């Protein structure tokens, strides 16, 4: 019984240390302490400013762009998978493509192609009148 009470109290008291231990654990094992500390600091800053973690922002974006949670096939070299990410990516690409087409059409209408009449020089005019030029 004493062991159980001791373990529960330790878990309760050290609950806030889990994030810093995870920071040191990932950083020390891979030699990327700076990267993991920056990642944790940015995540903390984002959560403090917005109230959501970066993963929650990504999930909200996915729900906004794909409310039906459709899953489309992604084509890769090894295998074909279905995921919501592929649906969102394809939708974004098609929307961007449509915007680019509209902007291109506006630019084309703004600057129509001009038919340039080829100007001939005085020498060419004289050469065309000659017998040698007309034999061709």
Please indicate whether residue 12 or residue 65 has the higher confidence score (pLDDT): 65
Output the average pLDDT for the chain: 75
Q: If you average pLDDT over residues 105-112, what whole number do you get?
A: 83
Under DSSP, the state recorded for 135 is T
pLDDT of res. 13: 65
Q: Dihedral through CA 115, CA 116, CA 117, CA 123, nearest 10?
A: -170
pLDDT in tens, 59-91: 888 888 777 777 777 766 556 677 777 778 888
**pLDDT of 18 over the 60 cut:** no
**pLDDT of 27 over the 60 cut:** no
pLDDT of res. 86: 78
Q: If you average pLDDT over residues 108-129, what whole number do you get?
A: 75
**pLDDT of 34 over the 50 cut:** yes
The string of DSSP codes covering 77-133 is SS-EEEEHHHHHHHHHHHHHHHHHHHHHHHHHHHSPPP-PPPP--HHHHHHHHSHHH
Under DSSP, the state recorded for 75 is E
């Amino acid at each position: 019984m004493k062991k159980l009470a001791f373990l529960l109290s330790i878990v309760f008291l050290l609950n806030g240390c889990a994030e810093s231990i995870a920071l040191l654990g990932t950083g020390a094992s891979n030699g990327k302490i700076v990267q993991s500390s920056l990642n944790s600091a940015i995540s903390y800053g984002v959560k403090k400013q917005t109230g959501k973690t970066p993963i929650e922002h990504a999930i909200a974006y996915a729900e906004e762009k794909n409310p039906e949670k459709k899953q489309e096939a992604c084509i890769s070299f090894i295998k074909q998978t279905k995921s919501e990410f592929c649906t969102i990516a394809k939708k974004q690409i098609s929307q961007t493509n449509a915007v680019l087409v509209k902007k291109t059409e506006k630019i084309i209408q703004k600057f129509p192609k001009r038919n340039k009449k080829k100007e001939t020089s005085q020498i060419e005019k004289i050469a065309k009148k000659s017998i040698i030029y007309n034999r061709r």
